[in-house]
Every structure is written in structure tokens, then in C-alpha cells.
């Protein structure tokens, strides 16, 4: 049989369109059971996985013999008839007529047994082939898609801020340094300042790209390289900003639920927790949050930032993400607009995810007054030559504006119910881990 002449080559995700027809799929062996006369091959091809049944009496002897020796992750092309089968979880299976053994995978390192996390991270290039990791990466892709769908559908323009910057948006520690020809450069920690410039040109804009923090911390919430989505809106107040965030995040979660239910179920995610993510989100002032935490026995004092345990406990009161509003101006970034009625707090909010996932969004109204921004420059000793362009935004047609940044991996970890953000990136960069 000439493989090229076989009727239809398709993907496992499309097999349901070919009931009772002959098809060919191209993939890898994920697992196998045998009963002497029958081999049950579980074949994956990246789009899905399907049971392929090889019956000794129905195939040429060499096909049965090959099926016998196939080991996990061997590459195979399988030809056969799509047949209804109520015992299969899909409702159908492939009755094999021919099988082409493309390549072997001797001693495949990631077996169906348990492996330690360091071993798995060392083999991340293979680990992503497992159903669980594939499901997480599918959901990550859908989260990005859902974010673009929402923003593109609501008048936003995507703008890509630079990665190489002469300066830092938030302080100068935790930066990766680069020698940029004869200049000093740093990897971006946030595209926000550039997005402010873009918002003055395009009205509503968003970025979607990698950002970097050279943090010497090893927690389950931190990656060295992580993706941020940063919308920025001209003529948006703090209140407009919060309304947008709850609408945006709810739409994203609901789209993931609609498009990735099999993946969420494979991860064992409690879908009722996700279905609850609907606007409006609860809000709590920083003031009230501090008092509430103190009443729970936390040591926190007004003026301090929250730690991870504080955030978890605050968020666990609610069934959906909660905004903590109006933090002390001193603990937040220099560009945040002070509350005009109470300048010791800023018109900002962090959005804390439920179930202990902590901050996934940080946002604020930005200072639009030139004089105030100039004062902040002096206070924070920001080098004028690097930031002159940012001051220009307050000099020429300045308007109230707001924006936020959402961390992709933390959001994916929360939606998927992961223990650690490292599984939410295809090739996570952690402290001391740069391989593969």
C-alpha cells in the first residue's frame, strides 16, 4: 500500500467528521495494552488522542508484529476505519488496517511512573508531551486568544513596546543588564510607560509580551521571564479601569470554559469555581483590608505592603477575584495618581485571585499633571535624560488615563488550578534554571 494514496489524512481532533470512513492519522504512541490477539494503542498527535485497535486476524502479520514491539513515544502513522464504540471515552475508535512505524523511542525517559520535579524540568522538552502539560499549554494559548478577542473587539489596538530599554519603570534593582553597543540597556520589567505614549496616539491600546525580573526568589508564584498583558486607556478614570478589568477577566475565563472544558476536566479543575467569575468583583479598601488582617491576627501595619499569606487570606473570603483599592502612595510606583481627597493613598488597585493565587492584576490611574510628575522624578532620582520623553506626555495634551498589567502565567496557574507557575510556561525560566 502506498501511504500517499490512502484516502484522507487528518488529525485526531477532526476524526469525528469521518465516522465509518477510512482515514490516516500521524502521531506517537502514548500507551498500549495487549491481549495476545488484540493490541490497543493509545495514539496522540498533538490535537488529541484516540484508541487504535489492532486485531491479529484483521491486519497483515507484519503490522501485528510491529504493533507488538512499539514502545512509548514511537512515531507511527496509522490507517484504518473510524468506528463507533460506546466503551471508548470519545464514543469512537480507529479499527487499524495498516501501521507505518516512523521511528523508535528507546528508553523514553518520562514513563507513566512518578518523576521528581527536577528531572521533569530537565526534560521539559519531552515533559510537554504528556496530557497534563499539553492541556495547560492549550489553556495558556486560549487565554491569550481570549484576551486578544476581548480587547480587539472593544476598540483596543495592539502595540508592542520595546524589550530593550535604557531605563526601568519601577526602581532599578532586579534588572537584567545588556551591553547595547556603546550604551547600557536593560530588559523591560513592564511596557507601561511606552503604552502610555501609545494610548495618547491610539486611545486604547494593549501589549502582550515577555517581561523580566532578576529576582533571587524561589516561590511558586515567580518566574524570571514571564508574560504580561498591559492595557492602557486615555481618558479612563480609576473607576473606568476597575470596570474594564472585571469585564475583561470574566470574559477571558468564560471563553476558556467554553473552549477548553476537556482540558480543564483533565486537570481536575473545579469548574464551578470558574463559572463564578462574573462581574462585578468585590472591592475592599486597603484600609479595611489592614484592619481585617489585624483582626485575623496578622502583624501588618498601615503603610506596609501585603505578603503572599496576607493576599491569600484576603482573597479566600470571596468566590471570585477581589480588588484591593487605594494602597498607600509610598508603597506603590511613582507614577500612580494620588487620590485627590486623600493624597496619602493612590488611585490604584490590585486584583487578587481566589484560592490562594494572589495578585494577578495591578493597575492604577496615572499622574497626568506635569508639575506633580516632575516632583516625583526629583523625589525618586529618576534620570532626566532617560525619562524626558515620559515627561513630554504630561507637557503635550496630557489627559487622565489609566491602565493595568495582568500576569499571564499566574492567571493560567489560577485558571488551571496549578500548584506552581512553572507549569504555565512552555520553557520556564527560574532562578538557576535556563535549560532546556
Site for its own copies in 359-418 (CB under 8 A): 368, 386, 389-390, 392-393, 395-399
Q: Which of residues 307-326 bind its own copies (CB under 8 A)?
A: none
| Residue choice 15, 28, 136, 264 for contact with its own copies (CB under 8 A) | 28
Give 9's DSSP letter.
Answer: B
Q: Which of residues 246-285 bind its own copies (CB under 8 A)?
A: none
Per CB under 8 A, the segment of 126-134, 290-298, 328-336, 344-352 that binds its own copies is 126-134
| Residue choice 41, 73, 230, 407 for contact with its own copies (CB under 8 A) | 73
Q: Which of residues 82-121 bind its own copies (CB under 8 A)?
A: 102-106, 108-109
- Please choose, from the candidates 337, 335, 336, 342, the residue with its C-alpha nearest in 3D space to the C-alpha of residue 302: 342
| Residue choice 32, 39, 204, 320 for contact with its own copies (CB under 8 A) | 204
Per CB under 8 A, the segment of 84-92, 210-218, 317-325, 338-346 that binds its own copies is 210-218
| Residue choice 38, 55, 90, 126 for contact with its own copies (CB under 8 A) | 126
ω into residue 280 within 30 of 0, thus cis?
yes
Number of neighbours of residue 397 by Cβ within 10 angstroms: 8
Q: 165 - beta bridge partners?
A: 186
CB 248 within 8 A of CB 213: no
Instruction: Annotate 328-353 with b (16+ C-beta within 10 A) or e (fewer).
Output: bbeebbbbbbbbeeeeebbbbbbbbb
- Please choose, from the candidates 345, 399, 342, the residue with its C-alpha nearest in 3D space to the C-alpha of residue 370: 399
Cell of 240: 473606568
In the complex, the smallest distance separating the C-beta of residue 394 from its own copies, rounded to whole angstroms, is 9
Does 185 contact its own copies by CB under 8 A?
yes
Number of neighbours of residue 28 by Cβ within 10 angstroms: 21
| Site track for its own copies across 212-251, x = CB under 8 A | x-x-x-------xx-x------xx----------------
| Residue choice 68, 160, 344, 375 for contact with its own copies (CB under 8 A) | 160
Per CB under 8 A, the segment of 91-99, 122-130, 264-272, 352-360 that binds its own copies is 122-130
Closer of 354 and 400 to its own copies (Cβ): 400
CB-based contacts of 85, cutoff 8 Å, min separation 6: 51, 91, 92, 93
Closer of 3 and 343 to its own copies (Cβ): 3
Per CB under 8 A, the segment of 6-14, 54-62, 271-279, 284-292 that binds its own copies is 6-14
Q: Tell me how far CA of residue 167 lies from CA of 74, 191, 223, 232, in angstroms.
A: 49, 11, 21, 20
CB 323 within 8 A of CB 353: no
- Please choose, from the candidates 170, 181, 12, 182, the residue with its C-alpha nearest in 3D space to the C-alpha of residue 82: 12
Amino acid at each position: 500500500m502506498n501511504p500517499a494514496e490512502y484516502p484522507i489524512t487528518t488529525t485526531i481532533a477532526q476524526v469525528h467528521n469521518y465516522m465509518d470512513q477510512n482515514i490516516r492519522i500521524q502521531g506517537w504512541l502514548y500507551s498500549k495494552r495487549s491481549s495476545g490477539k488484540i493490541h490497543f494503542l493509545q495514539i496522540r498527535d498533538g490535537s488529541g488522542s484516540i484508541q487504535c485497535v489492532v486485531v491479529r486476524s484483521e491486519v497483515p502479520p507484519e503490522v501485528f508484529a510491529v504493533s507488538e514491539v512499539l514502545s512509548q513515544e514511537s512515531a507511527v502513522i496509522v490507517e484504518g476505519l473510524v468506528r463507533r464504540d460506546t466503551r471508548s471515552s470519545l464514543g469512537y475508535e480507529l479499527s487499524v488496517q495498516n501501521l507505518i512505524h516512523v521511528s523508535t523511542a528507546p528508553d523514553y525517559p518520562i514513563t507513566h511512573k512518578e518523576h521528581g520535579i527536577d528531572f521533569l524540568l530537565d526534560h521539559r522538552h519531552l515533559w510537554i508531551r504528556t496530557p497534563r502539560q499539553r492541556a495547560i499549554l492549550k489553556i495558556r494559548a486560549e487565554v491569550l486568544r481570549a484576551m486578544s478577542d476581548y480587547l480587539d473587539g472593544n476598540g483596543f489596538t495592539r502595540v508592542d513596546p520595546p524589550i530593550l530599554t535604557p531605563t526601568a519603570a519601577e526602581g532599578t534593582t532586579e534588572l537584567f543588564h545588556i551591553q547595547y553597543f556603546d550604551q547600557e540597556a536593560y530588559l523591560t520589567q513592564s511596557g507601561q510607560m511606552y503604552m502610555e505614549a501609545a494610548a495618547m496616539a491610539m486611545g486604547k491600546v494593549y501589549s502582550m509580551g515577555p517581561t523580566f525580573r532578576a529576582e533571587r526568589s524561589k516561590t511558586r508564584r515567580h518566574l524570571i521571564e514571564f508574560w504580561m498583558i498591559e492595557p492602557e486607556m486615555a481618558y479612563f478614570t480609576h473607576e473606568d479601569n476597575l470596570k474594564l478589568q472585571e469585564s475583561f477577566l470574566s470574559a477571558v475565563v468564560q471563553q476558556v470554559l467554553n473552549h477548553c472544558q476537556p482540558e480543564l476536566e483533565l486537570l481536575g479543575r473545579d469548574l464551578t469555581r470558574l463559572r463564578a467569575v462574573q462581574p462585578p468583583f468585590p472591592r475592599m479598601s486597603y484600609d479595611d483590608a489592614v484592619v481585617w488582617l489585624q483582626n485575623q491576627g496578622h502583624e501588618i501595619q498601615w503603610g506596609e505592603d501585603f505578603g503572599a499569606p496576607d493576599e491569600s487570606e484576603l482573597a479566600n473570603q470571596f468566590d471570585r477575584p477581589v480588588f484591593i483599592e487605594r494602597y498607600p502612595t509610598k508603597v506603590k510606583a511613582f507614577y500612580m495618581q494620588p487620590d485627590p481627597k486623600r493624597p496619602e493613598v493612590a488611585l490604584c488597585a490590585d486584583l487578587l485571585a481566589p484560592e490562594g493565587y494572589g495578585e494577578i492584576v495591578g493597575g492604577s490611574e496615572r499622574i497626568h499633571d506635569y508639575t506633580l510628575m516632575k516632583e516625583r522624578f526629583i523625589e525618586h532620582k529618576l534620570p532626566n535624560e532617560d525619562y524626558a520623553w515620559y515627561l513630554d506626555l504630561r507637557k503635550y495634551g496630557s489627559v487622565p488615563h489609566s491602565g493595568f498589567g495582568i500576569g499571564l502565567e499566574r492567571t493560567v496557574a489560577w485558571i488551571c488550578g496549578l500548584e506552581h507557575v512553572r507549569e504555565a510556561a512552555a520553557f520556564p525560566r527560574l532562578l538557576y534554571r535556563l535549560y532546556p
